[in-house]
Structure 1
Amino acid sequence: MPTPNNTVTLMINGKTHGQWTNYDIVSDLLTPADDFSVTLGRPVDAVPTAVKEGDKVEVRVGGDTVLSGRIDRVHTTTEKGNKTLTIQGRDDAGILLDCSAPLFNAQDMDLNQIIEKIVKPLGLSKIRIDAAKTNKTHKVQIEPGSRAWDALTQYAEANGVWPWMEPDGTLVVGGPDYTTAPVAELVLRVSGDNNNIKRLEVERNMAARYSEVTVLGQSHTGKHNIKATAKDESLKLSRPLIVTEPDVDSQAEAERKAKKRLADSRLEGLTITAVVQGHRTDGGTLWQPGQRINVLSEPDGIDAVYFLMARTFVGGRGQGTETVLTLKEDGAWVLDADPPKKKQGAGKKDGKKTAHKPSENRKANGQAPVKPNKRRQAKKPKQELQVI
């Protein structure tokens, strides 16, 4: 199998720029506007590259586009006979984060109508809603001057979904598909056999965890006594939280809000950070948030499937290439998105998609297949959340 191409290049105004001294490319489902930063050292008498702030840019790893957006900042430093050029930018969600939402009456509008009002006027045309159903929201308060991204997320959360940008510049409003097969297996054994994790950090945090969340609400029609409680049966300590929501249209919405608050607290309870070599899985797929990954770590007692929430590509000329993976509990984020049913896989055979098999890819690379002890099958974890 040929060596994967992890060369990072920027396509700007039809020209390809590369050979960066340093680079980092960040993608995070929880942070609006993925960003990149590249640095290039050059002789002081070299002609500056014709790159300007505001230019459209595609960031590529090998032949794959990982970010589409615009350049935010071009910075040069000249000292001791050398010049350093730094280019920074974000994906196309950057304009939603920077600019205000237009003023309009948003009452009784569904998500499609909201996107027409908020997103398209700012120049985003490639949009996909990955939700089987979206409802009209009777009242979501948007203050004059609110950022477009904040307004969009308010309406998205009211429908139990979340927005993010795909590498090709498509704005997606939906949620993860927890039925897809894991794309890779990360291994850290005490013996060192077949390890492919360079560094692993595991953080368990109780500060943001709650045993139950109660939402008290009142609808815009004046209906009182709307109450919903969601409980996390896996948390044995009593850590209750009561939240007041002034605009709740129905009992079902109160239940969804309580469930989301509890799921968010559970999401904060565990963070796994893994550093791996290169920017691709053994099968050649680029690491991308939204993937599911098997993790086996004997020192930490971990053997389960986790959800890739964020990743950062780092490297540069004369350096090794690394990827920092941020993993969260599988099945704990955006529980109510209900994405349209579709079959997905990491590869195709005879026109049909097939599930990724890490051991087969390692064998193709000339590596011994991973043989974890009593490996559990990848499956959607049971959520121990109870709504009252």
Structure 2
Amino acid sequence: MTLETIVFSVKGRPLPHTSATLDESAEEAVRNAVFDVAWTGPGIPCAPDDEATITISGELWGTGYVRDVRGAHDENSRTYAVSFVSKTCDATECSVDDLEGLKRDADLGDIAEAFDSYGVGVEIKANTIRKSVHKIRPGETLFQTLETDARAQGVLIYDSPEGKLVLADKPEGRHAGALRRGVNIESASGSLSGATSFSKVKVRGQASIGVSASALRAEAEAKGASRRKRVLIVPFEGEATSERLKKRAKWEARRASGEGVTCTITVPGFRDEAGRLWQRNRLVEVDDDWLGIEQDMVIASAKLSQDGAGGTTTTLSLKDPRALGGDNPRGKSNDAWAAPGSADADYREG
């Protein structure tokens, strides 16, 4: 296993640490990390809002800022816990600073770039629908103004190692090798719940122009994973069209099912068989007969941990790929692990 060196640099100066935990997720816009900093200099090792980067054996993992500095001491020793957040924190916490707050004929990428008041940056990896006008609500953040439309269009919002917002609608790729019980799985657990699973998801919306049934009583319906009657009705956010309603219905059915079906696997080291750091929103083959999984899964989140002795492990939270916009894995898993896989949603007018 490769000996990994994590470097936590604040204002261009590496801070020595005795342990580190690094978290990234395809379902959260901000990655974060926590370090136990070994500091013997005067005062505190750093301060909140100091610019910071994290590298793993020379490979950039995160770009952002110091968030919290917590110090403690007794008569003979002292400790400091320092946390890190991605640059994207400003997109989730700070209001859009734009006097007009209006963008015409724009897709999600155009909107993100137009209202990026803090220079976070955006990477577009999804095809999104253009809208005639987008209006900022006073006080809302960039994430808030994007999230409503992103949810309606099946788009994930997370961050990149460079600290930019990423808009994606499917897994970015796959990891080499596989996760196998008895080979490289140190521990594993699974959680199966029917609480968020529905037999049908219906999305209902209206158009702003017209009085016909298609304008006032439009509905799309997608099949869910529940084996008994459980219907979820979702009001559509924004201008309703056939295409938009069907896409939202499929996405909601898959996401709802995926929320209740996840497994957590811990593996040694930080990298796959090809030497790539484990990353969120990538596919990996999983073969664990004790959990009943034999299929591709998508990494919803990855937690990289290193202790004082240099030992490294990665804890992966995984879901059926369809839960994050991917394709049917067509494996041999127990049916309880599956997300809805219908090719399309049905559309009808009231």
Scaled by the length of structure 1, the TM-score of the pair is 0.78
- C-alpha change, 1:220 and 1:108, in structure 2 (3 Å) is farther
Structure 2: how far apart are the matches of 1:320 and 1:109?
48
Tell whether 2:248 aligns with 1:257.
Answer: yes
**Structure 1 residue aligned with 2:336:** none
Deviation of 1:50 after TM superposition, in Å, equals 5.0
- C-alpha change, 1:105 and 1:335, in structure 2 (3 Å) is farther
Give CA deviations for 1:37-86 in whole Å, capped at 9, x if unaligned: 1012456xx43465222121111111111111111122221213111112
2:318 to 314, 320, 327: 327
Deviation of 1:141 after TM superposition, in Å, equals 6.5
**Structure 1 residue aligned with 2:68:** 73
Deviation of 1:142 after TM superposition, in Å, equals 4.5
AA aligned to 1:34 is R
Give CA deviations for 1:301-338 in whole Å, capped at 9, x if unaligned: 221110011011112212622111000102331369xx
AA aligned to 1:300 is L
**Structure 2 residue aligned with 1:145:** 139
Give CA deviations for 1:240-266 in whole Å, capped at 9, x if unaligned: 112223633312111112111111112
Structure 2: how far apart are the matches of 1:153 and 1:52?
31
1:288 to 272, 275, 279: 279
- C-alpha change, 1:281 and 1:49, in structure 2 (3 Å) is farther
How many residues of Structure 1 are paired with residues of Structure 2 in the alignment? 331
Structure 2: how far apart are the matches of 1:230 and 1:331?
13
3-state SS of 2:243 partner: helix
1:56 to 45, 51, 67: 51
The 8 Å contact of residues 222 and 250 in structure 2, kept in 1 or not, is answered as yes
Tell whether 2:194 aligns with 1:206.
Answer: yes
2:307 to 307, 311, 316: 316
**Structure 1 residue aligned with 2:222:** 230
**Structure 1 residue aligned with 2:178:** 185
AA aligned to 2:161 is P
AA aligned to 1:186 is L
Deviation of 1:10 after TM superposition, in Å, equals 0.8
The 8 Å contact of residues 58 and 67 in structure 1, kept in 2 or not, is answered as yes
- C-alpha change, 1:40 and 1:128, in structure 2 (3 Å) is closer
**Structure 2 residue aligned with 1:306:** 297
Give runs of aligned pairs for residues 95-174 of structure 1, distance below 5 A: 95-103=90-98, 104-106=101-103, 108-119=105-116, 121-125=117-121, 127-131=122-126, 133-138=127-132, 142-174=136-168
AA aligned to 1:203 is S
Structure 2: how far apart are the matches of 1:150 and 1:32?
11
Moved more, 167-176 or 63-72: 167-176
**Structure 2 residue aligned with 1:358:** none
The 8 Å contact of residues 200 and 272 in structure 1, kept in 2 or not, is answered as yes
Structure 1: how far apart are the matches of 2:296 and 2:77?
48
The 8 Å contact of residues 28 and 309 in structure 1, kept in 2 or not, is answered as yes
Deviation of 1:27 after TM superposition, in Å, equals 0.2
- C-alpha change, 1:247 and 1:128, in structure 2 (3 Å) is closer
Unaligned runs of 5+ in 1: 337-373, 376-380
- C-alpha change, 1:29 and 1:246, in structure 2 (3 Å) is closer
- C-alpha change, 1:326 and 1:58, in structure 2 (3 Å) is same
Deviation of 1:14 after TM superposition, in Å, equals 2.1
AA aligned to 2:157 is P
How many percent of aligned residue pairs carry the same amino acid?
22
Moved more, 304-313 or 241-250: 241-250
AA aligned to 2:188 is L
